[in-house]
Amino acid sequence: MFQLSRKNTVGVSAAVFVYRAILLAVLLPVLNRTTILVLSIPGYSYITPRNILNMLIFPSTWLYGIFWVLVLAAACFLEQAFMYHCYSLAEQNLVFRLRTFLVFVGHAFRKPVRRGLAGVFACVLVTEGFFCLSMLYLLSTRIRQITGIREFMHDHTYAVWGAGFLVVLLFLLAIRLAFILSYYAGENKSMTESFRSSGRLLHRNLRDFILRMLASVLVLNLISGAIYLILCILVLGGMRLFMAPAMALAHFHKLFDSLNTLAMFILGTWCACGLQKKIVHLFYRYKDARDELTSYQEEYGYDGTKADPKQAGMVWIVIGLAMAASILSIVSIVRDGMKDVGSFFEATEFTAHRGQSSEAPENTLPAVLLAIEATADYAEIDVRLTADGEVILMHDANCRRTCRVNRTVASMTLAEIKELDAGGWFSKAYQGTQVPTLREVIEEAKGKIKLNIEIKPQGGNVEELVDAVVSLVEEYDFVNQCVITSNIYDVMTAVKRRNDQIETGFIVSVVYGTFLDKEDIDFYSAKSDFVTEKTVDLIHERGRQIHVWTVDNRKELSRVQSLGVDNVITNKVLLAREVYQQAEDSTFLGILWTILAR
């Protein structure tokens, strides 16, 4: 038991934090699966500013949007109503008991929901509108990370101005409806009555309300922004002290999205609670004798001590099941990976070519481990089939170049392959390094780095090699942590036939012809010299990605960065990240790095 007061949001923040964590863990996998399904209908593998408008012609897109609007509106309304009732209890000096309160909330929620969804949407829009204002700083750091946002705004100027005008109108409406949640969810009034009551109460106190809310929004932005900056400085500064500059920047780039998401989650929860507390406090401050407000003791018999044990038990069972489901979901995501919603949008990733082959012998475990250390998103590896049907890593059909033995992989057993020295040719430090199997690499990479597995058939063994690779991927639940590529189109169809959830990439020198419309291809991997702005636009319009290889110098890295390619395959991951960072010096991250690097 704890007493909520006007100065204490710790209890409510903790409850909302748990609620959001459970909600994300349960809904995120559903969001990813439905997004994949909706994208597959028009044949897209991800979303770009160029094809997002084209998707609107499909009924599935509208059904998808309506479904998630309803789900998110319901989730937000429950959260907002929970916070409102918590702070209302504090305003009426009632003690908060979780068991009693959960039963009471169940009764309180049913009434507004039964009166229609329009009121629910109005409550959500108003409160979320104010919440976004309180998070302007953190939202701006997130927006600046979205590749292509400036280009989209430039290409759709009128749409941007229209959206801006709509935001202003919604904000003005939000002011008039600031207390609609108080009347709709708290006082059980209809939407029309809530609208009128909120407008009447605001009319009498408009100036004071605007000044106090602007002050609250400013304070929340300053405090959350300061905490966020301190967190970034501590993390990046610590990395800068213990790592070389290039390595520190690479690791921070890799960590930045996760850090940003965590800050948005924690600070966003705190801001939402603080803002709702302020609105409730002003509601009670402005009310007068003409307002007949609900007394929790009279309306619900709520005195903070009574509860029906059976109802309370059912509530705890539901909460327990939700928490168990969320924990299982999180464990599954960590163990098996998941195609993140963010991956459907433009964001350049970096692939270590044949592992970190500039520092270790190609296609070996040391090269893969160094790729992980260099913060590569993918390690690209080449796989072939031995005479006894084992999948091993080797680029060439013949072992002569990297193992000094003039025999083909297809003519040797795994035992014979394991006797070879795959590192002596590179340097004495790696003398005795073995040729790894794909199984060994997956075991090492799982949960640490994704793999770009290039299939190298030999002697017409496409089906056999594909079957062996897909079997390993499925055995280790690695579907969401890898892509399979080849310069042979039959490999694409064979992979999709075995498991259509595995992403496939077609390797070409030049993107051309009817391959642009083949359904079995999720992305194209092209030689960077032949990739132009027109090529990138053409592929993005079809909702597919473009990977470029092999880019190792600053000039070419800068060029492909300006083209907006989706993945850069390189032997120098740290250099690639450095070049990309320098091109983003105007962003928050670039400015922060410039300050700390001195």
Give the confidence band of 14 by pLDDT, cuts at 50, 70, 90.
confident
**Higher per-residue confidence, 585 vs 131:** 131
What is the DSSP track for 485-514? EES-HHHHHHHHHH-TTSEEEEEESS--GG
> What are phi and psi for residue 349, nearest 5 degrees?
-115, 165
> For the segment 200-221, what is each residue's pLDDT rounded down to a tens digit?
888 888 888 888 888 888 888 7
**Angle of helix 438-445 versus helix 365-373 axis, rounded to 10:** 20
Using DSSP's 3-state secondary structure scheme, residue 402 falls into helix
Domains of the chain: 10-339 (no CATH), 349-397+434-597 (3.20.20.190)
What does each C-alpha distance from 443 to 281, 419, 459, 464, 503 come to in angstroms? 55, 21, 28, 22, 20
pLDDT of residue 317: 65
348 Ramachandran zone, left/alpha/beta (phi>0; psi -120 to 50): beta
- How many percent of the chain have pLDDT more than 90? 24
What is the distance between the alpha carbons of residues 481 and 503, in angstroms, rounded to a whole number?
10
> For the segment 412-448, what is each residue's pLDDT rounded down to a tens digit?
999 999 999 999 999 999 999 999 999 999 999 988 8
> What mean pLDDT do residues 99-112 have?
57
Asked whether 533 and 563 are in contact (CB, 8 A), the reply is: yes
* Cα end-to-end distance, the chain, whole Å: 51
What is the distance between the alpha carbons of residues 260 and 263, in angstroms, rounded to a whole number?
5
Asked whether 453 and 482 are in contact (CB, 8 A), the reply is: yes
Buried b (16+ CB within 10 A) or exposed e, 287-296: eeeeeeebeb
pLDDT of residue 592: 58
| Strand 482-486, strand 545-549: pairing | unpaired
Answer yes or no: is pLDDT of 145 > 50.
Answer: no
Amino acid at 380: E
Asked whether 80 and 127 are in contact (CB, 8 A), the reply is: yes
Give the confidence band of 289 by pLDDT, cuts at 50, 70, 90.
very low
Torsion sign (Cα): 332, 338, 341, 342? positive
**Higher per-residue confidence, 155 vs 307:** 155
- Report helix, strand and coil shares of the chain as percent, to nearest 5: 65, 10, 30
> For the segment 334-386, what is each residue's pLDDT rounded down to a tens digit?
555 555 555 555 568 899 999 999 899 999 999 999 999 888 999 999 999 99
pLDDT of residue 391: 95
Give the confidence band of 272 by pLDDT, cuts at 50, 70, 90.
confident
Give the confidence band of 79 by pLDDT, cuts at 50, 70, 90.
confident
> What mean pLDDT do residues 105-126 have?
63
> For the segment 568-581, what is each residue's pLDDT rounded down to a tens digit?
999 998 888 878 77
Answer yes or no: is pLDDT of 463 > 50.
Answer: yes
The neighbouring-strand residues paired with 385 are 391
pLDDT of residue 6: 43
pTM for this one? 0.74
> What are phi and psi for residue 419, nearest 5 degrees?
-80, -10
What does each C-alpha distance from 241 to 50, 136, 577 come to in angstroms? 42, 31, 19
DSSP code, position 397: S
DSSP code, position 56: G
Answer yes or no: is pLDDT of 288 > 50.
Answer: yes
What is the distance between the alpha carbons of residues 92 and 115, in angstroms, rounded to a whole number?
26
**Higher per-residue confidence, 123 vs 480:** 480
What is the distance between the alpha carbons of residues 271 and 255, in angstroms, rounded to a whole number?
23
The CA radius of gyration of the chain, in Å to the nearest whole number, is 28
> What mean pLDDT do residues 19-25 have?
79
pLDDT of residue 58: 83
| Strand 545-549, strand 523-527: pairing | parallel
Using DSSP's 3-state secondary structure scheme, residue 394 falls into coil
What is the distance between the alpha carbons of residues 325 and 278, in angstroms, rounded to a whole number?
34
The neighbouring-strand residues paired with 383 are 393, 455
pLDDT of residue 279: 84
**Higher per-residue confidence, 114 vs 572:** 572
> For the segment 499-557, what is each residue's pLDDT rounded down to a tens digit?
988 999 999 877 665 667 777 888 999 998 888 888 888 888 887 889 999 898 989 98
What is the distance between the alpha carbons of residues 500 and 522, in angstroms, rounded to a whole number?
11
DSSP code, position 406: -
Residues in the chain: 598
**Higher per-residue confidence, 130 vs 424:** 424
> What mean pLDDT do residues 15-34 have?
79
| Long-range contacts at 260-264 (CB < 8 A, ≥ 24 apart) | 260/138, 260/141, 260/142, 260/145, 263/138, 263/227, 263/228, 263/231, 264/135, 264/138, 264/142
**What value, to the nearest 5°, has the Cα angle with vertex 261 and ends 85 and 15?**
25
Asked whether 294 and 26 are in contact (CB, 8 A), the reply is: no
Average pLDDT, the chain: 77
> What are phi and psi for residue 373, nearest 5 degrees?
-65, -35
Torsion sign (Cα): 418, 419, 425, 426? positive
